[in-house]
Homo-oligomer: A and B are copies of this chain.
Amino acid sequence: MSHYTKILLAQRPDHRPVGSHLFEVQSKEIPTAGPGQILIKQTHMSLDPAMIGWMSPDTESYIPPVELGSVMRSSGFGEIVESNHPDFTVGDKVMGMIGWTEYALTNGQGINKVQSDIDPEMALSVFALPGLTATQGLFNVGKPKTGETIVVTGAAGSVGSIVGQLAKAEGLRVIGVVGSDEKADWIVNTLGFDGAINYKSDDLEQQLTELTPDGIDLFFENTGGPIQHAIFNRMNAFGRIIVCGMIADYTSENPALGPNWINIIKKRITIQGFTMPDHFGEVPALLAKLTPYVMQGNVQYRSHVLEGLESAMTGLNLLLTGDNKGKLIVKL
């Protein structure tokens, strides 16, 4: 009788680092699909910054936290290995919120078939949460116009790297903020950003001024942190700020204060927060918007692949420290 591993959330994170003390690893018998059920063998699992929020006790967050004692929530890619469901056949490739488990037994709800020849890493890096979030935030919240200047924080991250490439394809001047010189090099020389700033350097404001000679029209915020105020202070009249992530503050004991609001009036700025779960109904339209950019070669990605389910527990810290290089994926 074969066994598989799954990981439950046992404790809510207090402060960083997150790690195995928060989870319970269980070994179980591989189940059999009952009537109407499918059994999925997950092959690739996505680790996303939003997961920190899903683990937290904050009931005001955008989707309910993962219940203690439940399989940790995550999106993933897998293959149908048993099916008693009319819509699925053994061998189908699927994506969905499969969770931290090697096998998942479900009724198929929220599980979507994908083209059989798609690369799993590309599927999770572009056509899943990162690409959908980038598309929703940039186009539907930010409403970019050709010739405008956008600054993207977390610009080498899974969402930020796509935001910048989409904006570049739309004819914007695109400046990315990253946490290492290697990432700066990647977004400029591989992805085609117009400039990059390593937020760990000393002369942030000067670099920002030089790279945004016409000011900043759009600010796509993924991180928070000290550069937020500098970017805010260079916003142009009628600027739009898309608040997508604040990874620097998710597990911080003393989240930094934001900028004073006077400039919100003086420059008639709009600041808008959004999260993808509110827009899952718009996924078909978002994919229709995103796909042509990918087909035309405008969206490159890179994956940072961890091996084995249990690597997820400490792997999350890479998102908090920014030490991941590209979309964080766990290969099972």
**Does A102 touch B at the CB level, under 8 Å?**
no
Q: Is the CB of A228 within 8 A of B261?
A: yes
A250 at the interface (CB under 8 A from B): yes
Q: How far is the CA of A278 from the CA of B268 in the complex (A)?
A: 9
User: Does the CB pair A244–B265 fall under 8 Å?
Assistant: yes
Specify which of B61, B246, B262 is in contact with A261 (CB 8 Å cutoff): B246
Q: A266-B61, A267-B273 are in contact. Are A261 and B260 (CB under 8 A)?
A: no
* Count of interface residues, chain A, beta-carbon cutoff 8 Å: 37
Q: C-beta contact mask, A227-243 vs B, less than 8 Å → 1, else 0? A: 01000000001000001
A274 to B271, CA, bound (A): 12
Evaluate contact between B228 and A267: CB separation under 8 angstroms: no
> What is the minimal beta-carbon distance from A260 to any residue of chain B, in angstroms?
4
Q: When A224-B261, A258-B261 are in contact, do A273 and B268 touch as well, CB less than 8 Å?
A: yes
- Contact across chains for A260 and B255 when beta carbons are under 8 A apart: yes
Tell me whether A266 and B221 are in contact (CB under 8 A). no
Distance in angstroms between the alpha carbons of A250 and B265 in the assembled complex: 11
A270 CA to B53 CA, complexed, in Å: 20
Q: Are B268 and A264 in contact (CB under 8 A)?
A: no
Copies of this chain, complex-wide, total 2
The reply to whether A260 and B272 contact each other, CB–CB distance below 8 Å, is: no
**Inter-subunit contact A273/B278 (CB<8 Å):** no
- Complex Cα distance A237/B278, Å? 11
Answer whether residue A257 sits at the interface, using C-beta atoms and an 8 A cutoff: yes
Interface flag for A259 (CB, 8 Å): yes
A285 at the interface (CB under 8 A from B): no
A312 to chain B, nearest CB (A): 23
Q: Determine whether the beta carbon of B268 is less than 8 Å from that of A270.
A: no
> Could you give 30 example pairs across A and B, Cβ below 8 Å?
A53-B266, A60-B263, A60-B266, A61-B266, A62-B237, A62-B267, A62-B268, A224-B260, A224-B261, A243-B261, A244-B265, A245-B265, A246-B265, A249-B260, A249-B262, A255-B262, A257-B258, A257-B259, A257-B260, A258-B258, A258-B261, A261-B271, A263-B273, A264-B272, A265-B274, A268-B273, A268-B274, A268-B278, A269-B272, A269-B273
The 7 A-B pairs at the shortest CB distance, nearest first, are namely A257-B257, A264-B273, A258-B258, A255-B260, A271-B271, A265-B273, A243-B264
